Amino acid sequence: MPRTRSALPSPVGPVRLTPDARTALRPAAATIGAGFWHERRTTNARVSLPQGPDLLESAGNLHNLRLAAGTAEGEFRGAYPFVDTDVYKWLEAASWQLAQEDDEALAAEVDRIVALVAAAQQPDGYLNTWFQLVKGGERYQDLRWGHELYCAGHLIQAAVAHHRATGRPELLDVARKFADHLDSVFGLPGSGKPLDGIDGHPEVETALVELYRETGERRYLNLAGYFVDRHGHGLLGGEAYCQDRVPLREATDVEGHAVRQLYLLAAAADLAAETGEAELRSTGERLWRAMTTTKTHLTGGLGAHHDKEDFGDPYELPNERAYCETCAAIASVQWSWRLALLTGEARYSDLIERTLFNGFLAGVSLDGERWLYVNPLQVRDGHTDTGGDQSARRTRWFRCACCPPNVMRLLASLQHYLASSDEQGLQIHQFVTGTYGTDQVRVRAETDYPWHGTIAFTVEETPADSPWTLSLRIPQWCREFRVRCGEETYDFPVDDGWLRLSRTWTPGDRVVLELVLEPRLTAADPRVDAVRGCVAIERGPLVHCLEQADHPGGGLDDIVLDPSRPLAVKHRPDLLGGVTTVVAAGRRRRIPDRGWWPYPTASGSDPEPDGEPVELTAVPYPVWANREDGSMRVWLPTS
Ligand code: FUB
Ligand code: ZN
């Protein structure tokens, strides 16, 4: 396409590829306008982010930095060696936010906390309040659990965001100093570096690639490559938990701690993008396929086990004990977006959509003040909640508060996961009201998605005589859609998930895509014991669930859905900030309190086969747990 004038500012967000990156697509510029995501992002900007500093103060994170800086006295506060990362993730989120709008109060808080971080750094670049204050400065003695490089990674990511957003060098200087220190310490035997090691929690790898992108300093890319390569060689005892059982390029399945695995894979995709290495790319494609076919919950949630926050076995996807950590959903979005850019394939953005709308968004309450760390697919009647971080009830903050600021940073940078460009034109991956473009074209999208399926695109800027292609992702869930260009309705073929509209465009040209949003039943894979024979209700990208609040007079464990009866859609502006519900027919069985009975059951001792009819109201999963405590379920038996 010929170059005209700048249509939108170049994107200020994560994954700023270098000009040499070998990817099929590049992130496009985007701004989000009114609508579903705008509302949630506004709550993020007005409620969650401004509350961050107070929460970090009361949890002790900022106090620890002051202690390390020598400007306060007292004891280290916090239960984990990685509490610094809560500060860094908040700084990253606030920086992405500042890139979008001026906010003096937020900017002042960022300045204050950046100064605190800088003051806590040691003269040689090292920074970790836990090791400085609790471990007497003893470094790199506990790489398996100590999280020193994990903390460095989040610091680096915050610094990159701060620099990209504000152009200011203060935090980037801190990050570079730390990265230079790491580069002087870690390396292969024989490299002259004193330590051949990796961190039990990947994160520094993807951060170092971003630092390379921000500074052009190739040493950081090489160091990222070194860390990725050294996983799987037994440096940490060979545990899958630490991503150390098998070298990544030889892996055939995702395994171990879900967030650790996913951050490592995001780094591998970053490296593949910047180096063009085919083997790392095919490793990512292979593992993504394994993950999505056998280890992904319907909500996009990942990590089946509470124990070790682990992926678990293929098809081991429990409901009430699903772990599905909010951070794992975020890491999945980050990884999938990198694969989408690398390959140009729509399937990655299909998973991003499922995850964003469900497993991710359920992590934060509608008011932006309470959080879920684990995201179960069922809460039983009579559930006794033990409270704590892994509660099925929303919590104001956690002892291990990794998820809330992670949600904040993804919401604040969400526009960078929506659109891309290539030589052919512009690709729209997600349907969000806003403006998308490159330095040559600009398209405006208007929609009330996911409540309604109509998305109207207007071409605002385009080169005069040069054709280009507007590509729209047709979601995997979509069984029927229509496209209108002007007065005509077209039956365009879908090419591997993409609807491609090529022509010479004129400003004002309109394309209207209608995705038919019929509610649907989704059947469970029979290999998943927990949900065999069950169905889930979905509508568009949203998974729905039953909540006790909508079903007074009894619990949800006895409910059966009748799949032969039609599903109805009810828009409910009065409910949960305005949602569309799906109404289904079901029955409430009267099952004897026995637990089991002889098979085949003798007539008469059968559990009540019919039970009383009951109207089932299914609300979108991302808004569950915003009313009084009660039971919830996604998967429903049909008999
Ligand atoms: O270990 C740091 C963070 O804490 C992980 O990313 C989460 O899974 C939680 O374990
Ligand atoms: Zn987390």
Cβ of 259 below 6 Å from ligand 1: yes
Q: What is the pLDDT of residues 194-240, one digit of tens each?
A: 999 999 999 999 999 999 999 999 999 999 999 999 999 999 999 99
Cα–Cα–Cα angle for 317, 320, 325, nearest 5°? 70
**Residue 426 bridge partners (DSSP):** 421, 470
**Residue 456 bridge partners (DSSP):** 446, 512
- Asked whether 401 and 79 are in contact (CB, 8 A), the reply is no
The reply to whether the predicted model has a pTM over 0.85 is yes
Tell me the residues surrounding ligand 2 (ion) with CB < 5 Å.
325, 327, 402-403
- What residues have CB less than 8 Å from 6, skipping those under 6 apart? 439
The structure tokens listed for 370 are: 């309470």
Q: For residue 80, report the distance from its CA to the centre of ligand 1, in Å.
A: 10
- Which residues in 355-507 belong to E strands, given as ranges? 378-379, 419-421, 425-428, 434-437, 442-447, 454-461, 468-473, 481-485, 488-490, 494-495, 498-503
Which bound ligand lies closest to the C-alpha atom of 406? 2
Rounded to a whole number of angstroms, the CA Rg of the chain reads 25
Q: What is the pLDDT of residues 370-399, one digit of tens each?
A: 999 999 999 999 999 888 898 999 999 999
Ligand 1, atom 4, residue with closest C-alpha: 402
Phi, psi angle pair for 198, to nearest 5°: -135, 165
Q: What is the pLDDT of residues 150-176, one digit of tens each?
A: 999 999 999 999 999 999 999 999 999
133 residue type, one letter:
L
CATH 2.60.40 in the chain, residue ranges: 420-447+454-515
Cβ of 327 below 6 Å from ligand 1: yes
The structure tokens listed for 429 are: 């991956």
Q: Is 219 exposed, middle or buried (0-12, 13-18, 19+ CB in 10 A)?
A: middle
Active site residue 402: yes
83 residue type, one letter:
V
Q: Output the average pLDDT for the chain.
A: 95
Distance, in Å, from the CA atom of 345 to the CA atom of 347, rounded to the nearest integer, reads 6
The structure tokens listed for 10 are: 């170049």
Catalytic, out of 402, 403, 478, 534:
402
Distance, in Å, from the CA atom of 402 to the CA atom of 423, rounded to the nearest integer, reads 39
Q: What is the pLDDT of residues 551-560, one digit of tens each?
A: 988 889 999 9
Q: For residue 130, report the distance from its CA to the centre of ligand 2, in Å.
A: 19
- Reference 477, options 434, 420, 519; nearest CA is 519
Q: How confident is the model at residue 6 (pLDDT cuts 50, 70, 90)?
A: very low
Q: Which CATH number fits domain 420-447+454-515: 1.10.150, 1.20.58, 1.10.4160, 2.60.40?
A: 2.60.40
Q: What is the pLDDT of residues 103-137, one digit of tens each?
A: 999 999 999 999 999 999 999 999 999 999 999 98
- What residues have CB less than 8 Å from 384, skipping those under 6 apart? none
- Which residues in 217-333 belong to E strands, given as ranges? none
Q: Go through the chain and tell me how many residues it has.
A: 639
pLDDT at 591: 80
Give the 3-state secondary structure of residue 325. Answer: coil
- Asked whether 199 and 223 are in contact (CB, 8 A), the reply is no
Q: Could you tell me which residue, 590 or 359, shows the higher pLDDT?
A: 359
The region, left, alpha or beta by phi > 0 then psi within -120 to 50, assigned to residue 382 is: left
